[in-house]
């Protein structure tokens, strides 16, 4: 697995306005260093403990993205340095992120996760819930968070039509509320489906195995 070669290849393929988050979960510090030395600054992790441990050992200008299921009682461990939380799946979690951001005297970027696949293992607001939440404008009350957009994960399937449909549905909501909330980011697409995602307006892709190799 040649991390720098993989990164260069992906970077030449994707449009300039698409942000690549290198998903380094389960991978060693040295792999992250190689990517960093090749100019990669945005990294994603899905477990707070692993994220904190890695962030402590790596350069401070790395921008860390929390992309996995986040429990409310864990927010405090990442609140002082996290760059963006993609996986906000409840109003209570938003409240906690806002509280911890305030405590740390900073602002935290968040994306709201929408359940576009209806897989039981995945989290996120249902379409009905996200519409209700965004229409209520309740999230505008949180002063220490910036809700910058939406995130979704497509079904684990090889059927590209299903994947495309799910990305399209998320983009429809994104576009509907974009101007009211000044949304900037639509985070969708992983190693297996990022090309479809970019086609459907994604501007943050989260790639792990395409960069670092398969996870064991």
Ligand X SMILES: *Cc1c(COP(=O)(O)O)cnc(C)c1O
Which residues of the shown chain bind ligand X in the complex (CB under 6 A)?
23, 25, 46, 67-68, 153, 190-192, 206-210
Q: In Å, how far are 56, 129, 163 from 53, measured between CA atoms? A: 5, 34, 34
Please tell me the distance from the alpha carbon of residue 113 to that of residue 19, in angstroms, as a whole number: 17
CA 62 to chain CA mean position, Å: 15
Q: Return the number of the residue (97 or 153) whose C-beta is nearest ligand X.
A: 153
Please tell me the distance from the alpha carbon of residue 186 to that of residue 112, in angstroms, as a whole number: 10
CA 10 to chain CA mean position, Å: 18
Query: Hey, what long-range contacts does 99-105 have (CB within 8 A, 24 or more apart)?
Result: 100/75, 100/76, 101/144, 101/145, 102/143, 102/144, 103/76, 103/79, 104/79, 104/80
Q: Which of 34, 28, 30, 27 is nearest to 8 (CA)?
A: 34
CB of 85 to ligand X, least distance (A): 12
Q: Return the number of the residue (36 or 144) whose C-beta is nearest ligand X.
A: 36
Q: Return the number of the residue (149 or 208) whose C-beta is nearest ligand X.
A: 208
Q: Return the number of the residue (89 or 206) whose C-beta is nearest ligand X.
A: 206
Please tell me the distance from the alpha carbon of residue 190 to that of residue 211, in angstroms, as a whole number: 11
CB of 136 to ligand X, least distance (A): 26
CB of 6 to ligand X, least distance (A): 11
CB of 94 to ligand X, least distance (A): 18
Q: Return the number of the residue (104 or 191) whose C-beta is nearest ligand X.
A: 191
CB of 154 to ligand X, least distance (A): 10
The residue with its CB nearest to ligand X is 208
CB of 182 to ligand X, least distance (A): 24
Q: Return the number of the residue (181 or 212) whose C-beta is nearest ligand X.
A: 212
Rg (CA), the chain: 17
């Amino acid at each position: 697995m040649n991390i720098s070669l993989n990164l260069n290849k992906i970077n030449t393929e994707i449009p300039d306005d698409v942000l690549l988050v290198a998903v380094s979960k389960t991978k060693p510090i040295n792999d992250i260093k190689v990517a960093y030395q090749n100019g990669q600054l945005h990294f994603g992790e899905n477990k707070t403990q692993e994220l904190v441990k890695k962030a402590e050992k790596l350069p401070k200008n790395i921008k860390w993205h929390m992309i996995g299921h986040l429990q409310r009682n864990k927010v405090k461990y990442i609140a002082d340095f996290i760059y963006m939380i993609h996986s906000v799946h409840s109003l209570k979690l938003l409240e906690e992120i806002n509280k911890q951001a305030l405590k740390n005297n900073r602002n935290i970027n968040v994306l709201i996760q929408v359940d576009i696949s209806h897989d039981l293992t995945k989290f996120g607001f249902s379409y009905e819930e996200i519409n209700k939440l965004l229409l209520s404008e309740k999230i505008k009350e949180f002063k220490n968070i910036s809700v910058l957009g939406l995130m979704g994960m497509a079904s684990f399937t090889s059927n590209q039509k299903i994947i495309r449909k799910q990305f399209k549905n998320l983009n429809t909501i994104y576009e509907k509320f974009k101007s009211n909330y000044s949304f900037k980011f639509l985070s969708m697409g992983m190693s297996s489906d990022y090309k479809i995602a970019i086609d459907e307006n994604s501007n943050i892709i989260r790639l792990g195995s395409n960069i670092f190799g398969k996870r064991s």
